[in-house]
């Protein structure tokens, strides 16, 4: 069993720290919110007066904070973790922060011989309580193996994201997609309701098509991912249908900005000569616009 420093005892951190205690580890905890510290103390943790104190005798120090500036300050600021950190200890930032800030923190700690990895989490505070988080580990194989017993107490699945800094990258990309999709889904339902569609009918139709299921497992595998852009449903037709929905939304007064923005990608794809390609060709169009190599012909 290890001694673990834990800084940031909010919605997520408090539950994660509690699960480490239940797993038999010794916890040194700190938060600017004294009530949060007292609650963990009641569960057997040692209350600390600074981030530095959490690092005393610790094999691991975990941070679970709102943003990158706070993580930097807690690690490297006055009375920060590093001032009392052992060079054998492993710092694990589990917050969701900017990936370039993660890279800079790992590099700044490494300059002085300290070890840090990141392991942001997927799912919600209910999963933090249940110990069933999705852990997106970014670190060396050795770092991930060392931290695995802790991850197993806080989560039910650990993904080795492929090296230092990759965990936070996959977290941000995942959140980008699900957060944007949330708005697109809401646009569709608001438009459906405004034109008088029955809610359950709309949900059940869209729940059975790429609209609700997403494209990764439906339209992409046999088309763009297989290098096949022969049209099952062509870009020109997708552009036409999207145009009808945009026009309808305009007439009935429903804002659908995600739809309006996506039409420009279909416009660009058509201008680039992709009108008669499969609609999954928008992936290739985006790759091209991003200076990436295209994979399907
Ligand atoms: P939260 O605001 O509930 O908790 C943050 C904690 O950090 C608070 O207790 C706060 O007092 C403490 N804190 C702030 N500044 C501090 C400092 N300088 N020193 C010590 N403690 C300090 O937030 P949360 O929901 O627990 O989220 C934490 C991180 O986890 C965020 O990066 C968030 O994006 C990420 N996350 C949250 C969820 C979720 O469902 N809530 C899911 C996945 C990831």
As its CATH architecture, domain 170-289 has Orthogonal Bundle (1.10)
Q: How many CA atoms does the CB half-sphere of 146 hold within 13 Å?
A: 20
Do residues 263 and 242 touch, judged by C-beta distance below 8 A? yes
What was the pLDDT predicted at 278?
98
- Give me Rg for the CA atoms of the chain: 24
Do residues 67 and 97 touch, judged by C-beta distance below 8 A? yes
Pocket mutation for ligand 1, best pick of 10, 50, 122, 134 (most atoms within 8 Å of C-beta): 10
**Residues whose CB falls within 8 Å of the CB of residue 226, separated by 6 or more in sequence, listed in order:** 296
What was the pLDDT predicted at 171?
98
171 is catalytic: yes
Q: Which atom of ligand 1 is nearest to the CA of 120?
A: 44
Q: What are 167-213's pLDDT values in tens digits?
A: 999 999 999 999 999 999 999 999 999 999 999 999 999 999 999 99
Q: Which atom of ligand 1 is nearest to the CA of 12?
A: 26
Q: What are 113-171's pLDDT values in tens digits?
A: 999 999 999 999 999 999 999 999 999 999 999 999 999 999 999 999 999 999 999 99
Ranges of each domain in the chain: 3-164, 170-289
What is the residue-averaged pLDDT of the chain? 97
What was the pLDDT predicted at 296?
83
202/244 Cα distance (integer angstroms): 17
222/211 Cα distance (integer angstroms): 17
Token pair for 160 = 């080795």
CATH of 3-164, one of 3.40.50.11540, 3.40.50.720, 3.90.1300.10, 3.40.50.620: 3.40.50.720
**Per the residue annotation, which of 171, 194, 213, 223 is the catalytic one?**
171
DSSP E strands: which ranges in 66-111?
90-93
Summarize the confidence of residues 214-233 as an average pLDDT. 97
This model of the complex carries an ipTM of 0.99
Q: In the predicted model, is pLDDT for residue 80 greater than 90?
A: yes
62/235 Cα distance (integer angstroms): 48
Summarize the confidence of residues 12-32 as an average pLDDT. 98
- Pocket-forming residues, ligand 1, beta carbon under 6 Å: 7-13, 30-33, 36, 64-66, 70, 73-74, 95-96, 121, 124-125
Q: In the predicted model, is pLDDT for residue 17 greater than 90?
A: yes
């Amino acid at each position: 069993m290890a001694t673990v420093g834990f800084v940031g005892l909010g919605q997520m951190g408090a539950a994660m720290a509690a699960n480490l205690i239940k797993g038999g580890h010794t916890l040194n905890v700190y938060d600017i919110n004294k009530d949060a510290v007292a609650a963990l103390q009641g569960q057997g943790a040692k209350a600390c007066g600074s981030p530095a104190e959490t690092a005393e005798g610790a094999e691991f120090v975990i941070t679970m904070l709102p943003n990158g500036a706070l993580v930097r300050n807690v690690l490297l600021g006055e009375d920060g973790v590093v001032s009392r950190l052992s060079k054998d200890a492993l710092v694990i930032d589990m917050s969701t922060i900017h990936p370039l800030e993660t890279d800079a923190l790992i590099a700044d700690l490494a300059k002085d011989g300290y070890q840090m990895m990141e392991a942001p989490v997927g799912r919600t505070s209910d999963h933090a309580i249940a110990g069933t988080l999705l852990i997106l580990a970014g670190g060396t194989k050795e770092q991930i193996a060392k931290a695995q017993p802790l991850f197993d107490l806080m989560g039910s699945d650990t993904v080795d994201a492929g090296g230092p800094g990759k965990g936070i990258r996959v977290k941000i990309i995942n959140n980008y997609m699900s957060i944007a999709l949330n708005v697109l889904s809401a646009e569709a339902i608001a438009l459906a309701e405004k034109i008088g569609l029955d809610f359950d009918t709309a949900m059940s139709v869209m729940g059975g098509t790429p609209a609700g299921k997403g494209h990764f497992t439906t339209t992409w595998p046999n088309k763009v991912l297989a290098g096949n852009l022969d049209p099952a449903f062509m870009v020109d037709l997708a552009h036409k249908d999207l145009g009808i929905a945009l026009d309808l939304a305009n007439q009935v007064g429903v804002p659908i900005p995600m739809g309006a923005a996506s039409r420009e990608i279909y416009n660009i794809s058509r201008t680039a000569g992709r009108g008669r390609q499969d609609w999954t060709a928008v992936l290739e169009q985006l790759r091209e616009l991003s200076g990436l190599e295209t994979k399907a012909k």
